[in-house]
Copies of this chain bind each other. A is one copy, B any other.
Amino acid sequence: MAKMATVQIELGDRGYAIYIGNGLLENAGTYKGLPAAYAALIVSNTSVAPLYAQRLRNALRMQYAQLHEVVLPDGESHKDWHTLNLIFDGLLQHGCDRRTVLFALGGGVIGDMTGFAAACYMRGVPFVQVPTTLLAQVDSSVGGKTAINHPLGKNMIGAFYQPQLVVCDLDTLDTLPARELAAGLAEVIKYGPIADMELFAWLEAHMDALVARERGALAHVVKRSCEIKAAVVGADEREAGLRAILNFGHTFGHAIEAGMGYGVWLHGEGVAAGMVMAAHLSQRLGLVDGSFVERLTRLIERAGLPTRGPVLDAQDNAGRYLELMRVDKKAEGGEIRFVLIDGPGKAIMRAAPDALVREVIDQCCAS
- A residues with CB within 8 A of B: 38, 65, 81, 85, 88-89, 92-93, 95, 97-99, 119-124, 145-147, 150, 152-153, 156-160, 238, 326-327, 329, 331-334
Shortest distance in angstroms between A274's beta carbon and chain B's nearest beta carbon? 19
> Which of A120, A150, A159, A238 is most buried by chain B, counting CB atoms within 10 A of its CB?
A120
Query: Is A160 a contact of B123 with CB atoms below 8 Å?
Result: yes
A124 to B122, CA, bound (A): 18
The residue of chain B having its C-beta at the shortest distance from the C-beta of A38 within the complex is B333
Query: Is A331 a contact of B159 with CB atoms below 8 Å?
Result: no
Query: Is A159 a contact of B120 with CB atoms below 8 Å?
Result: yes
A146 to B122, CA, bound (A): 10
14 A–B contacts from the bound complex (CB under 8 Å): A38-B332, A38-B333, A89-B152, A92-B156, A95-B326, A95-B327, A97-B329, A97-B331, A98-B332, A120-B120, A122-B156, A122-B158, A123-B147, A124-B159
> Which of A95, A97, A153, A334 is most buried by chain B, counting CB atoms within 10 A of its CB?
A97
The residue of chain B having its C-beta at the shortest distance from the C-beta of A123 within the complex is B158
The residue of chain B having its C-beta at the shortest distance from the C-beta of A82 within the complex is B81
- So how many copies of this chain end up in the complex? 2
Query: Is B98 a contact of A152 with CB atoms below 8 Å?
Result: no
Shortest distance in angstroms between A92's beta carbon and chain B's nearest beta carbon? 4
Evaluate whether A156 and B332 lie within 8 angstroms (CB atoms) in the complex, with A95-B327, A147-B123, A326-B95 already known.
no
Query: Is A334 a contact of B156 with CB atoms below 8 Å?
Result: no
Shortest distance in angstroms between A122's beta carbon and chain B's nearest beta carbon? 5
Given contacts A97-B334, A120-B159, A123-B145, 16 further A-B contacts (CB under 8 A): A38-B332, A89-B152, A93-B152, A95-B327, A97-B329, A97-B331, A97-B333, A98-B329, A98-B332, A120-B158, A122-B156, A123-B146, A123-B159, A123-B160, A123-B238, A124-B160
Determine the chain B residues whose CB is within 8 A of the CB of A156 once the complex forms. Answer: 88, 92, 121-122
A153 to B329, CA, bound (A): 32
A158 to B118, CA, bound (A): 10
Query: Is B92 a contact of A153 with CB atoms below 8 Å?
Result: yes
Query: Is B238 a contact of A124 with CB atoms below 8 Å?
Result: yes
Query: Is A119 a contact of B159 with CB atoms below 8 Å?
Result: yes
The 7 closest A-B pairs by CB, nearest first: A92-B152, A122-B329, A120-B157, A123-B158, A38-B333, A123-B160, A97-B331
A160 to B121, CA, bound (A): 11
Determine the chain B residues whose CB is within 8 A of the CB of A334 once the complex forms. Answer: 95, 97
